[in-house]
Amino acid sequence: MSVAVLGVLAVAPGALAQADWRPKPEPQTWQQLRVQYLPEPEWQFMDSIRNARVEAAEYIRTPRAVGDTMELEAGLLLKTTGRDGWTSKVVPMRALCSDGRLERRSSDGTWSSYPSRPDTAVKVRWMCSLR
């Protein structure tokens, strides 16, 4: 599974207009899947999508301030059309607070830009407020 798959989630209506965006409570259905596929503690539900091609949910955990960034772990639950089972992935990421964007860390420790969505800046702002 490609890490770029984490960018599949759609923009929630009105999210761009909400400068004070915060994650909604985790739906029970996602909670049950998270416990099964991302069993480690402290996951914060961020967003989800369900359509004809994909079902996915994004989570974060262990945010910590490092300079002008917030480093964290991003978790993804994913099921695509034609697949019977769920997959999960955990990716080290950071929110660049001054730029309003995200980066992911590769296995060799280097940081690279993460595909942005229209609501990325408001979500980065929220992550950076966790300082």
69-120 pLDDT per residue, tens: 999 999 999 999 989 899 999 999 999 999 999 999 999 999 999 999 889 9
Q: Are 12 and 114 in contact (CB under 8 A)?
A: no
User: Whole-angstrom Cα distance, residue 97 to residue 67?
Assistant: 10
In the block, residue with structure tokens 């590769």: 106
What pTM, to 2 d.p., does this model score? Answer: 0.82
Give the span between the Cα atoms of 92 and 47, in whole angstroms: 18
Number of neighbours of residue 55 by Cβ within 10 angstroms: 18
Mean pLDDT of the chain: 87
pLDDT number for residue 51: 93
Is the distance from CB of 70 to CB of 128 less than 8 angstroms? yes
Give the neighbor-by-neighbor strand order of the sheet with 87-96.
44-50, 54-66, 69-80, 87-96, 101-105, 111-113
Contact of 11 with 119, CB cutoff 8 Å: yes
Alpha helices in the chain (DSSP H): 28-37, 120-128
Residue 15 pLDDT greater than 60, yes or no: no
End-to-end Cα spacing for the chain: 31
